[in-house]
Amino acid sequence: MGLLDDLKKQAEQVKAQETGRTQTLQTNSVTTDIALKRAFQYLNDLGKQLNVVQPPRAHEFKLPQTPDIEPAKMKEFFCDYRSKNVGGKDYVAEVAMTFRIGSDQVITVKKKPEEMERYRDLLWQYNIEHKSEQIRNERKVINHEVFNIPCWFRAQAKIDGDHETGRIKIITKNVGEFEINIWQMTSAEFNEQAIEEFAKFLIGQPNTFREIAKKSSLNNATGAYQRPKL
């Protein structure tokens, strides 16, 4: 085989690889777009119905170092999406849903000086609105800090799509309890059943979403989600 024939063969191999990558990108982009559009349509319709019903909170929220929170309602559901251009075409890239959980209860918590900063950081970590006042003694030294916490909390879910790999990343915050959860699965795995079970998880109905996520081919034996420590 001569030099020219060898170069032609190499060029054909490169073209075949590029064609394969392009086809894979197109396939992943389409399946990811379909999954995200399906999720948006379902969650957007769900939010509209829930804003009318305003169901009671099924989750039991507990915040460390804080008195128990009364049973509450869920309201102000809002769903939106963001698009991006991939290969000259616009695809859905992210779906986000937010809602509020709570009641008219106001919790009062008193913290000593050595506890104040850590507790304040805990509240900020979970976007918990609050007001506080530092109480000083007759020598103007801080004796303690009083935190007043209105019991309306913002929960959120975000579904990100990676169009190059066909992967879906799902992040929830303050859903079910005060925590951040992260799951990942392929766009094919994030099908109609997975979306419906995810919706049930959001509003506290019995569901199998965690089990579905754990079975994803993208997850190892340690579990399907990551939960940061408080």
142-178 per-position pLDDT tens digit: 999 999 998 888 899 999 999 888 999 999 998 877 8
pLDDT at residue number 222:
36
Distance from C-alpha of 126 to C-alpha of 178, rounded to nearest angstrom: 7
The predicted model gives 29-35 an average pLDDT of 91
- Per cent of the chain over pLDDT 90 is 48
Does pTM top 0.85 for this prediction?
A: no
Question: What confidence score (pLDDT) does residue 217 get?
Answer: 87
Q: Is the pLDDT of residue 97 over 70?
A: yes
Closest by CA to 73, choosing from 149, 137, 155, is 155
H or E stretch covering 113: helix 113-125
> How do 180-186 and 167-173 pair as beta strands?
antiparallel
